[in-house]
Amino acid sequence: MQNNTMQAARCPTDELSLTNCAVVSEKDLQSGQHVTVKTTPNHKFVFTVKTHHTVSPGSIAFSLPQRKWAGLSIGQEVEVANYNFDKSKQCIGAMTIEIDFLQKKSTDSSPYDSDKMAAEFIQQFNNQAFSVTQQLVFSFCDKLFGLMVKDIEAMDASILRGETASGKKQKIDIGLMVGNSQVIFEKAESSSLTLVGKAKTKEARQTIINPEWNFEKMGIGGLDKEFSSIFRRAFASRVFPPDIVEQMGCKHVKGIMLFGPPGCGKTLMARQIGKMLNAREPKVVNGPEILNKYVGESEANIRKLFADAEEEQKRLGANSGLHIIIFDELDAICKQRGTGASSTGVHDTVVNQLLSKIDGVEQLNNILVIGMTNRPDLIDDALMRPGRFEVKMEISLPDEKGRVQILTIHTNKMRSFNLLAPDVDIKELAAETKNYSGAELEGLVRAAQSTAMNRHIKATSTVEVDMERAEKLQVTRSDFMGSLNNDIKPAFGTNQEDYSNYIMNGIIKWGDPVTHVLDDGELLIQQTKNSDRTPLVAVLLEGPPHCGKTALAAKIAEDSQFPFIKICSPEKMIGYSEIAKCQAIKKVFDDACKSQLSCVVVDDIERLLDYVPIGPRFSNLVLQALLVLLKRAPPKGRKLLIIGTTSRKDVLQEMEMLDAFSTTIHIPNISTGEQLVDALELLGSFTDKERANIAHQLKGKRVWIGIKKLLVLIEMSLQVRETHRCSGAALKAPCISDVMCKMLDSSLHRKPTYSPAKKYSGT
């Protein structure tokens, strides 16, 4: 449209006069266009136009406040021309508005929430032109208010580009209202209006458009990367003006799925997402609360959650505010359809209702649904596709940097009041707390605090606090270390009791074979840590019974110092069915995949497989599960070392299980007299003379005995000595060696216990 002369007219309806738009015929202009209205050679005013069928072509209608502001009279001829905004310089960052009741007779003393008022203002006047000194009428809570624009600041262009805010503030005379503009209301000097809320004072920009978000003030640590990724995927489209988003054909992300181990900050993150957005107060729903015993009530509960968003979208369209709905424990209501044992099918209909609301025929574009679960495998597949829960974010265990942030957050208050001793090193604690979740780190701080407070309690006939000493209360390093060792253990960490029982007597290096096994184990540990090409390393320790395979496997695992070490042992699965055993083994491997570095010891594989030579018989279900899990590579960025032990290599060979291991290490029994004497010397149970006598009697004899059995025989012979000593018939030194040799005699001259591989008869 070129410069065109039009005639000023009166606004045709009261509703249109509240829109702050100039009204024209659709034959002259289109709704949403911006125009300059030149009233005199030196006076120009910018308006956004709206079309209406009652306005005749060649006319442009204004409301009374607009005519007052621009000095227009009915029938006056004005020059009208298109006006284009420079989006990089003229988007409104903050606008200060003076407000008062439109009519003095309608005044009241009720407080008006300026935050809600600002949100409603942005929705009503989104994508409209505003000028300093402009006057308009605003309807809020069935009251009419007269407004006057006092001041306009431009939005920082670097924010729109996704960069850090430069902090520069630039005043402008004319600006374009966008969804992320900030509106500040100030009541007129003589007004009796009462304003409450934050929007009555000028403050910082809304956090949704500020990448430099302060996580520590929010109480979140270790999730910087996740927040950044969510911001990029879910909120970037909400930062830009709606018309730009519409031109790109871009739809907002409607759903975010947060999953991961318990206690890692999923609920906390969802709660803070609601705070960091310029949106309604989030609706937080626990999954089981949706379910109702009456038919149709569960689905009605889902519909109620979306009712406000539907009503607002119908009323305001693209200018509708963002409605956030947070589902905690989503797996409680959104299980895979068709898997419920109940004949009612309630879960299925709830899933159907949720699917139709998020992305059904009547799509809502003003919602953000955040779901949280520890079990993403249970969620119905239809919910996980783009358009529904499109952004899937794993909230995993925090790394060392994240643990420093979390511990800093939970000790900040103590530090500010000088209740944290100088010897407490947060970085040291972060290094010691591998595989601790955020909740467990918070629990560690609480446990240390209770330990420190307990020192100042006098436990006499009554429990009293020693006030003199309590004033000097400080939480020290020893309090944290004590809690670390005794009180708080990570659910996905190393349970030292698991493997300490296997090496309670230490590792007895009776010869080169043992040293070689430990050296090979160290090489495998380094390969797991350092190699990016082989994130999965599996080794099998095989040898005769009682040769110390499990102890060596536990020792290699302990030496690895990996944050996750678990022993998958048949003794923990006594009485399990085949399916239960498969699930227990799978859980160990799944948990291992949640840690950066993990070591799993699969002990006594033939016992796990229920193998017996009579029949022969074994559990094919467990065998297939183990074959899959042993070959399954961990997720990207994770490393896994698997150490298996077996006494029946021949059986595993027949089952084609040896191929699942990267390498096999043979562990022999003690096979020479010299090795036996070396073992006795390391154990220190006999004198030099007794060992010499044993060596003399074993000379030239063949030996085949496991270190585990040797320990039992030594303890038995020592009990013989103790029995004679207590009875008063002291046994002479050479005699004890004779006793030992007699006990060994049953274990000498033996062949290895391996039996030849048997052919299976199709069992």
> How many angstroms from the chain centroid is the CA of residue 232?
17
Question: Does the pLDDT value for residue 755 go beyond 50?
Answer: no
Nearest to 334 by CA among 270, 288, 269, 296: 288
Mean pLDDT value across residues 551-578: 89
pLDDT for 629: 94
Best-predicted range by mean pLDDT among 27-41, 210-224, 737-751? Answer: 27-41
Q: What value does the mean pLDDT take over residues 692-700?
A: 73
Above 70 in pLDDT, residue 325?
A: yes
The sign one gets for the Cα dihedral 243, 245, 248, 251 is: negative
Q: Which residues contact 696 (CB under 8 A, 6 or more apart)?
A: none
Residue 135: strand pairing partners: 148
Taking 80 as the threshold, does the pLDDT of residue 492 lie above it? no
Catalytic positions, written as ranges: 549-550, 603-604, 631, 708
Which of 171-175, 593-597, 753-757 comes out lowest in average pLDDT?
753-757
How far apart are alpha carbons 638 and 644 in whole angstroms?
Answer: 20
Residue 403, pLDDT > 70, answer: yes
State both tokens at 353: 């209702």
In contact, 135 and 66? CB cutoff 8 Å: yes
User: Is residue 756 pLDDT above 60, yes or no?
Assistant: no
The dihedral region occupied by 148, where left means phi > 0, alpha psi between -120 and 50, and beta the remainder, is: beta
Work out the angle between the directed axes of helices 438-454 and 400-416 (0-180°, nearest 10): 40
pLDDT at 621 over 90: yes
Pairwise pLDDT comparison (179 vs 755), residue with the higher score:
179
Write down the pLDDT at residue 537: 93
Does residue 723 carry a pLDDT above 70?
Answer: no
- Across the range 74-102, mean pLDDT stands at 87
Q: Are 578 and 618 in contact (CB under 8 A)?
A: no
pLDDT surpasses 50 at 731: no
Helices (H), 390-491: 400-416, 426-432, 438-454, 467-470, 477-486
What is the DSSP secondary-structure string of 286-326? EHHHH--SSTTHHHHHHHHHHHHHHHHHHHHGGGPPPEEEE
Place of tokens 């948990």: 591
Residues in the chain: 763
Residue type, 300: A
Q: What are phi and psi of 343, to 5 degrees?
A: -80, -15
pLDDT for residue 523: 93
φ and ψ at residue 353, rounded to 5 degrees:
-65, -40
496 falls in which pLDDT band (50, 70, 90)?
low
> CB under 8 Å to 617, separation ≥6 — which residues?
610, 611, 763
pLDDT of 190 > 80? The answer is no
Task: Could you list the beta-strand ranges (E) of 202-288.
Answer: 255-259, 283-286
Classify strands 597-602 and 639-646 as parallel, antiparallel or unpaired: parallel
More confident residue, 469 or 642: 642
How much of the chain exceeds pLDDT 90, in percent?
A: 13
Asked whether the beta carbons of 51 and 95 are under 8 A apart, the reply is: no
pLDDT of residue 624: 94
Q: Is the pLDDT of residue 749 over 70?
A: no
Q: Which residue has the higher pLDDT, 676 or 171?
A: 171
pLDDT of residue 501: 73
pLDDT at 378 over 80: yes
State the CB neighbour count (10 A cutoff) for residue 75: 10
Whether the pLDDT of residue 653 is over 60: the answer is yes
Instruction: Please determine, for residue 480, whether its predicted confidence score (pLDDT) is greater than 70.
Output: yes
Q: Which residue has the higher pLDDT, 623 or 109?
A: 623
Q: What angle do CA 426, 431, 434 make, to 5 degrees?
A: 120
For residues 470-498, give the mean pLDDT: 79
Span 97-136, pLDDT tens digits: 988 888 877 777 788 888 888 888 888 888 889 999 888 8
Distance of CA 237 to the CA centre of its chain: 23
> Which residue from 679, 681, 742, 737 is spatially nearest to 707, judged by alpha carbons?
679
131 strand-pairing partners: 174
Question: Could you tell me which residue, 325 or 705, shows the higher pLDDT?
Answer: 325
DSSP state of 365: S
Of the pLDDT bands very low, low, confident and very high (cuts 50, 70, 90), residue 462 is low
Listed range (92-96, 269-273, 432-436) with the worst mean pLDDT: 269-273
pLDDT tens digits, one per residue of 251-265: 788 888 888 888 888
Please tell me the predicted confidence (pLDDT) of residue 204. 35
The answer to whether 22 and 61 are in contact (CB under 8 A) is: yes
3-class SS letters over 535-578: CEEEEEEECCCCCCHHHHHHHHHHHHCCCEEEEECHHHHCCCCH
From residue 258, give the alpha-carbon distance in Å to each of 84, 329, 365.
Answer: 42, 10, 21
Average pLDDT of the residues in 659-687: 82
- pLDDT > 60? residue 345: no
- Within the chain, what is the greatest distance between any pair of CA atoms? 134
Q: What is the mean pLDDT of the chain?
A: 80
Burial class, 594, CB count within 10 angstroms (exposed 0-12 / middle 13-18 / buried 19+) = buried
**pLDDT grade for 205, boundaries at 50, 70 and 90:** very low
Q: Record the tokens describing residue 735, joined without a space.
A: 């005699």
pLDDT score of 632: 92
Condensed to tens digits (0 to 9), the pLDDT of residues 206-262 reads 334 444 445 555 556 677 777 777 777 777 777 776 656 766 777 788 888 888 888
More confident residue, 668 or 271: 668
The pLDDT value recorded for residue 646 is: 93
Do 277 and 324 contact (CB within 8 A), yes or no? yes
Question: Stretch 618-639: mean pLDDT, rounded?
Answer: 92
pLDDT confidence bin for 323, thresholds 50/70/90: confident
- Residue 721's pLDDT band (boundaries 50, 70, 90)? low
Burial of 624 by CB count in 10 Å (0-12 exposed, 13-18 middle, 19+ buried)?
Answer: exposed
Task: Judge whether residue 630 has pLDDT over 90.
Answer: yes
pLDDT of the residue at 242: 63
What letter would DSSP give residue 78? Answer: E
Which pLDDT belongs to residue 203?
39
Q: Where is 65: in which H helix or E strand?
A: helix 64-70
Q: How far apart are CA 152 and CA 389, in angstroms?
A: 38
Q: Is the pLDDT of residue 400 over 90?
A: no
User: CA 426 to CA 402: how far, in whole Å?
Assistant: 11
pLDDT higher than threshold 90 for residue 356: no
Res 758 pLDDT > 80: no
